[in-house]
Amino acid sequence: MSPVTDRYAVIGNPVAHSRSPAIHARFARQTAQDIAYDRLPAPLDGFVATVEAFRAAGGKGLNVTVPFKVEAFDYCTHRSARAAAAGAVNTLAFRDDGVHGDNTDGVGLVRDIGQRLGFRFEGARVLMLGAGGAARGVLLPLLDAGVARLTIANRTASRAHELAALAGDARAAGCGFDALGSAASGEGFDLVVNATSAGLDDAAPAVDEAVYDGVRLAYDMVYGARPTAFMRQAGARGCPAVSDGLGMLVEQAAESFFIWRGVRPLTAPVYRDLRAELAARS
């Protein structure tokens, strides 16, 4: 590193598995930015202390992953509108006037689906499975993309209703998984987004498979070397296009890079590299 190398990292627990260093290294080479990007593990009760030590050592910014996104939100002195809407922060920028927090998950999702996959959001009927932190982070960006209807379904219906109410938009509505059979047999959906954690256990969400009838794209926010259980379920039901969330990972990282460096890297070649690496390990 040169004397002027700017330091960034991803903080989390665990964090050893994170692909963020590889992604940002590619972005830096592509845009000729002099940065170093590392993994920064933090004890579960030591987020603030770890961040403060990183800042004191000259760190310029951090990506934040589980379980610290809400703590990061509380830690900030300035928050973007999308961070405020999500109630969580995944990008910290250390500036002269304080700590700026943002959430790039939603824009990462929308860009991957809209640009790489070519899905048209305007007027689309969207079903989002899950009402946890992942869902909250992408709720408003999906509405801002111009969808006609956003149905949030969750195993516990009350959480879906709460998240829909939080949106403050008549296009958003909540329901339980058990209500989706009738919803699917009615108007149906164009896009289904899986924001549950079921894919981490290679399980599909416990929904009536009729929800996939007529769907143009089924998108899982989890990614891996092989199609997820959700993708397999949707494909078996006849969904013509399925995707995991690897592209979302790359796109949200690119937005963080832009926040820090003011330049926007090309994401397509980085996505191709990561996809090839995953395939080689399968």
Q: Which residues contribute to the annotated binding site for NADP(+)?
A: 130-134, 154-159, 221, 245
For 9, 48, 69, 168, the CA distances from 79, given in Å and listed in that order, are 19, 17, 13, 20
- Looking at 69, 79, 82, 125, which residue is catalytic? 69
Rounded to whole angstroms, how far apart are CA atoms 68 and 47? 7
Beta bridge partners of 100: 78, 93
Beta bridge partners of 11: 40, 64
Beta bridge partners of 128: 152, 193
- Which H or E run contains 63? strand 61-64
Phi-psi region of 274 (alpha: psi -120 to 50; beta: other; left: phi over 0): alpha
CA angle 220, 37, 6 (to 5 degrees): 135
- Residues in binding site: 18-20, 65, 90, 105, 130-134, 154-159, 221, 223, 245, 252
Say if residues 14 and 67 touch (Cβ distance below 8 Å): no
For 95, 158, 256, the CA distances from 81, given in Å and listed in that order, are 18, 25, 15
Say if residues 254 and 267 touch (Cβ distance below 8 Å): yes
Query: What is the layout of strands, in order, in the sheet containing 6-12?
Result: 35-41, 6-12, 61-64, 91-95, 98-102, 78-79
- Residues in binding site for shikimate: 18-20, 65, 90, 105, 223, 252
Active site residue 69: yes
- Which H or E run contains 83? helix 81-86
User: Active-site residue numbers?
Assistant: 69
